[in-house]
Amino acid sequence: MEVFVGIDVAKHTHWVCAIDHTARVLLNRAVDNAQSDVDRLAEEIRALGDDVVVGLDITGSLARFLEAVLLAEGLRLVHVPGIAVNRAGHGFVGGERKSDPRDAHTIADLVRTRALRPILPDDETVIALRLKITRRRELTDDQTRRISRLRQLLGAIHPGLERRLDLTGKGPLVLISRYVTPGQIRAAGQKRIASYLKKTPHLHAAETLARTALDAAQAQRTVVPGETLFADMIREIAVEALQARDTISRLDRDIEALLDRHPDGALIRTLPGMGAVLTAELIASIGTMDRFPSADALASAAGLAPIIRQSGKSMGWRRANGGDKALKRVFFQSAFCAVSTKDPLSKAFYDRKRNEGKHHTQALIALARRRVTVLWTMIHTRRAFDPSRKAA
């Protein structure tokens, strides 16, 4: 007998609803997120029928333990996106009402009536990549805010120096971790500043940087009120930024090592524009390409497939608003990198779209969509990217 199970995932207590092919409720109860309770649930689901499909509204995160137990029992899992549950619920009687039992029943009904993407077990390499790339994204986001704050503080007391320094680089951060105000820089002099900078390993052009700082200091004579307090804050944030750079560099080395172990890592990186970080983000987002039966399915998941809008005699297409934002970013950013580095095929495709009247973003989205097909084909045929092959 076919059985369709919907689980409304929560931190402490899940709600489970199981129905048959006629939508008759077979099971409807709460389950604690604990080993014994989830094990008992797996046994109950197994006893309901031979052909069971379980739908979850969340993957990973809060659902990771639940997924692990159910997959270990050999159950077939599918993902029911939360937005689909929300919209489907509004189509039932009393659509504005919301409760865990109601959501679980809606999930089960969507499993019964819709074709949904499977949830497949991840190997250790994919899990490690997902954790590393998530941590890297957190650090880079924090670093962007940190650099912005440094620019604001430094520009308030020493605008000439802020204008001359690229604070995303290591050398300028080392400089302002000690020398900030015009008075400090003039008192230290170029030789002392250069000597301090040269103590940092792998830091180049110390003399040039010291000269730049001294020129900025000599051009400003006004002492801004509170500049000592500002300087202390700038030094503190600069030290944090340097530590973050070291951590990000270590994560990049770890990601490179993980990609060397992943069977698709080297293959994906043969596509122009797909560097180590974007390749890791792609693998972290999709897990395995087996989840997508076609390139169109992958494009739809990334929100890169155009959406038809038809009513009566009126018909048109528009850009998709949904999709996995992280996955869409990977394809869009890789398309941008391919065009920026002047990959011949990518640049020719981009230029053709621009000549058709599309603006920059539209041309990049079109290129990203084309690259989805190429990448899906590469992985399924196990062939590296070959620019001489005309057909994907």
Helix (H) or strand (E) holding 218: helix 206-218
Output helix, strand, coil percentages for the chain, rounded to the nearest 5. Answer: 60, 10, 30
Note the pLDDT of residue 390. 61
Length of the chain: 392
Q: From first to last of its 392 residues, what are the pLDDT tens digits of the chain?
A: 799 999 999 999 999 999 999 999 999 999 999 999 999 999 999 999 889 999 999 988 889 999 999 999 999 999 998 888 988 888 776 777 889 999 999 999 999 999 899 998 888 999 999 999 999 999 999 999 999 999 999 999 999 999 999 999 999 999 999 999 999 999 999 999 999 999 999 898 999 999 999 999 999 999 999 999 999 999 999 999 999 999 999 999 999 999 999 999 999 999 999 999 999 999 999 988 988 999 999 999 999 988 777 778 777 777 777 788 999 999 999 999 999 988 999 999 999 999 999 999 999 999 999 999 999 999 999 999 988 776 44
Residue 154 CA from chain centroid, whole number? 31
Residue 261 CA from chain centroid, whole number? 21
Structural domains of the chain, ranges and CATH numbers in brackets = 2-121 (3.30.420.10), 127-258 (1.10.287.4070), 265-310+320-381 (no CATH)
Q: Encoding tokens for residue 240? A: 């944090």
N-term to C-term CA, the chain: 41
Q: What gap in Å lies between CA 378 and CA 264, rounded to an integer? A: 10
Question: Is residue 284 a contact partner of residue 130, using CB atoms and an 8 Å limit?
Answer: yes
Note the pLDDT of residue 319. 73
Look at the pTM and tell me if it is higher than 0.85: no
Beta strand spans in the chain (E): 2-8, 13-20, 25-32, 51-56, 76-79, 118-119, 307-311, 314-318
Between vectors from CA 244 to CA 243 and to CA 248, what angle results, nearest 5°? 120
Q: What gap in Å lies between CA 50 and CA 230, rounded to an integer? A: 69
Q: Encoding tokens for residue 181? A: 């105000």
Question: Is residue 174 a contact partner of residue 239, using CB atoms and an 8 Å limit?
Answer: no
Which residue pairs from 11-16 have beta carbons closer than 8 angstroms and sit at least 24 positions apart in sequence?
A: 11/62, 13/100, 14/66, 15/100, 15/101, 15/103, 15/104, 16/41, 16/104
Q: What gap in Å lies between CA 144 and CA 4, rounded to an integer? A: 46
